[in-house]
Structure formats: C-alpha cells, structure tokens
Amino acid sequence: MGQPLLPWQRYQADVSLEVDAAGVFVYATSVTTVQRQAGKTTLDLAGAIQNCLMGPRRRAWYTAQSGQHATEKFLEMAELWESSAIRALGPNVRRSNGSAALAFERGSKFRPFAPVEGALDGKQSDRTSLDEFWYWTSAQYAVLRQSFSPTQTTRRMVTGQRPQTHIWSTEGTVESTALNALLDELRGDNADPTIAFFDWGLRDDDDPDDLDTVYARHPGAGYLFNREDLDGFRAQFADSPGEFARAYGNRRTGATERVIPAEPWKHARWNEETPPAPGRVCFAAAVGVDGVDTTITATQLHGPGTLSAVVKDGWMEGSYGAMRKLQELHEKYPTAGFIIDPSGPSAALHDEAERAGIPLIPLKMGDVVGATQATFSGIINPSGPTWRYKPHDKLDAAAELATKRFAGDGTWLFGRRASVGSISALESANLGSYGIHHLPAIMAFQLG
C-alpha cells in the first residue's frame, strides 16, 4: 500500500500474526497499548486486508468508541486503501452509513460496526478489531463480547484458520474499567500466554514532563513526527499535562496531574500531636465508580477544622458488606450522623440505608460542590491545614489520583470518572467534613 511498516509495527505484526507449522495463527487475541501518532490505524488496516485476502468470503470487522467514530475512522482507512498500488484487489468501496465496506476478490469484506448489543448478530467474523478500547467499561465490554464472540465460533471449522480479536488503545482513566482490568492481568505474573501483548510508552520512573524522554519512548518518533512537532503536541495540552502524558506517553492520568498538591496534602496529615476533643461523629460512605470499592469514614470537629479517618474495616472491595457496617456503626453510636451521596455510584447504598432507618443528613449537588471547595481550601490553607486526616493508604491514593470535574460557573468537584483509580476514600472524607457541620440536633427529655 506504499506504507512501509515502522520497526514497532513490523515487530507487532511478526508476533501477533505468528503461525504454527500448519499455518494457523498462534494467538486468538492480540492486545496493543501504544501512544497517539504511532501508526496503529495503518497497521490495523494492513492486518484486516491481509486477512480478507487469505481466502474466499472472509469477514473482518472494525469498531471504536461509538458507531460514528468507527465509521469515520473506517472511511479514513478506505481513503488510504484507494490511494494504494494494490487497490485493484479490492476496487469496491462503499461509504454509505450502515453499509460501509471494502469489498475484495472472492467475496471477502472489511466493514465497521457499532459497539452495541446485537450489532453482529447473524454475522461471521475472521478478524475483529476493537479500537480506542479505553472508552469502554467492563459492563459495556461484556455486552460487546456477547455481540462479536459468537461470530467467531465456527469459523475455524469453515476456513481452517483461527479467528483473531485485536484490541488497540492508549492508556485510559478510571472509566476504562475494561482496559484497566485487562492490563492489570497482562502486566501481572500470571498473564495469559495465549494473548499477544504489546505495551509501549513511558516507564514507571520516567518523567512525563521531560519531552526528550517522551520522544525517546515513542515508537513513531523520528518516523511520523520530529522533536519539534512534539513541542507543538505538548502546547495543545498546556492546561492538561496529565492528558498529554496519557496520549503521548501512554501513561494513565492522575499520577502526573494532581488536583491536591502533594506537599499540602502531606502537611494535612494528622500525626496525633493533639488528640481530638470528645464530641459527636459523622460517618460517611462513598462507592467508587462502577462499584469497584466502598469507603466508610468517620469525621469529627478538631481545633479550627475537622479530622477524618477511614474506620476500621471501612474500606472494602465492591459494595457488599457496606450496609452491614453502617448498621453496626449506627447501633454502636446512636447519636452519630450519617451522610451518603444520593446520586452517582452511591445512590443504591443511600436508598438501602434510608429504607433501613439510618438517619441520613440531606445532601444536594450544591452541597457537594460546597463541601469540595471547603475541603480543598482547608488542605491548602496558607496558615496551616484546617482539614485534617488520619493516614491511610486509600486516602493517599485517592488524593494523588483525584482530578477536577467542573460543575459550572467556575466551581468543581472531585471527578471520579476523570480520575485513574477509585477516589471513594476522598469522597467519603469530603462528605464527612460537610456532615459534621450539619448534624441534626439531639432532643433531650426530662422526666418528672
């Protein structure tokens, strides 16, 4: 096609398309994480065309974060194909939305599809490409797999060749629960040896602000862009260094772009120099995105501000057991207040707690915004922190990963979906520091 493969593309193709002695693909699945501007679209197109030319009536499919994006990217591939010297092998290009396709000799086709339930019902697939995989949650991917996996079931018996799934992406955010779970597995000690895995990008100890290092780690550098171009790419992300590190360093955001500065957060840590005075407590609970975890914290007034801590056994995977823990706390501390966000991932827990008779402090979106501003101001207070916390690894991780989600008119909240990991511990402590100032009055009765 007039597009010589770059070294990384050649390596990826050599491995992912390896065949055994019988000429059958060794790998059923290939996973590639790589930076932007590396040439993954060209490589995927080449692989799809190769697959379509391997035999009669073969089927290759492509999708991305949405049906519209899949069609747009597919049409870019079609333009590249039409300008190639071998386009006579597939002269028929259809561009109509819903029926776009590259049609090849002997009835083979390469087509886009929407990543929705039932999109490939009744279809057959020899190669399925899932691009921009970081956009999908685990739940969305489960639905998508139900759509394309059955299309591959009988193909080996029909064609004599193993069907393949190719997953392509840059690193993502906390919303990328499908990709994050897959990468955690593939980067671990017990990775599935039947998956071909390619992981390009910055190393853990690399500085994403060092553009020379970013350039050196990028497999497209020197081939598709030069060092001066990288300066231009960085300028486009002047207000979001974390997003630049994700796009051009293939590193998850959050660890490189803190909303809460590291030093003020460190200074806000309570080191038990002054024990808190006895007083009422507000318990708060928050569920992480997609229900990945739940954190319950306790907050009380302390000096000029507040002190929050994760309660014993107050962090748990998922949300199972959270209700039981809240009931235990309510029985042990009957005068304490409780606060849970009635919207977002915590909505179901809020409803269950309300039905169980746990006294919940009313909370609206504006209250969460106000609590966030108060928490942030209390941490960075130049006269000394007034928002304090007891050390806990989940709180430290959440403070590092938290990003902003703007709520309009310059106000913002801790953005759970824009962060790269769960921030439920920070959300819980944030709500607790609001709730301690809004505890319901305790009614006293005198018998006589």
The domain ranges of the chain are: 7-200, 262-435
Does pLDDT of 405 surpass 60? yes
What's the rounded Cα separation, in Å, for the pair 40 and 54?
21
Q: What global pTM score does this model have?
A: 0.62
pLDDT bin (cut points 50, 70, 90) of residue 177 is confident
262-435 classified as CATH 3.30.70.1400: no
Distances (CA, A) of 324 to 43, 328, 329: 52, 6, 9
pLDDT bin (cut points 50, 70, 90) of residue 229 is very high
Look at residue 139 in the predicted model and tell me its pLDDT.
83
What's the rounded Cα separation, in Å, for the pair 153 and 289?
33
Residue with the larger pLDDT of the pair 403 and 265: 265
Ramachandran quadrant class, 224 (left: phi over 0; alpha: psi -120 to 50; beta: rest): alpha
Mean pLDDT for the stretch of residues 41-47 = 95
Look at residue 380 in the predicted model and tell me its pLDDT.
94
Q: What is the phi/psi pair of residue 245, to 5°?
A: -65, -35
Least confident range of 83-87, 273-277, 315-319, 370-374? 273-277
241 burial via Cβ count (<10 Å: 0-12, 13-18, 19+): middle
pLDDT bin (cut points 50, 70, 90) of residue 211 is very high
What's the rounded Cα separation, in Å, for the pair 269 and 387?
9
Does pLDDT of 350 surpass 50? yes
Contact criterion met (CB below 8 Å) for 93 and 157: no
Q: What is the phi/psi pair of residue 368, to 5°?
A: -65, -40
pLDDT bin (cut points 50, 70, 90) of residue 153 is confident
Look at residue 150 in the predicted model and tell me its pLDDT.
86
Three-class secondary structure of residue 1 per DSSP: coil
What's the rounded Cα separation, in Å, for the pair 338 and 361?
6
pLDDT bin (cut points 50, 70, 90) of residue 255 is very low
What's the rounded Cα separation, in Å, for the pair 369 and 226?
43
Strand partners, 338: 283, 360
Only one residue has tokens 């992300």, namely: 237
Residue with the larger pLDDT of the pair 1 and 406: 1
What's the rounded Cα separation, in Å, for the pair 31 and 28?
10
Q: What is the phi/psi pair of residue 321, to 5°?
A: 100, -15
Does pLDDT of 408 surpass 70? no
Mean pLDDT for the stretch of residues 75-98 = 88
Pick the CATH number of 7-200 from 3.30.9.10, 1.25.40.10, 3.40.50.300, 3.90.550.10: 3.40.50.300
Does pLDDT of 298 surpass 90? yes
Look at residue 97 in the predicted model and tell me its pLDDT.
75
Look at residue 202 in the predicted model and tell me its pLDDT.
94
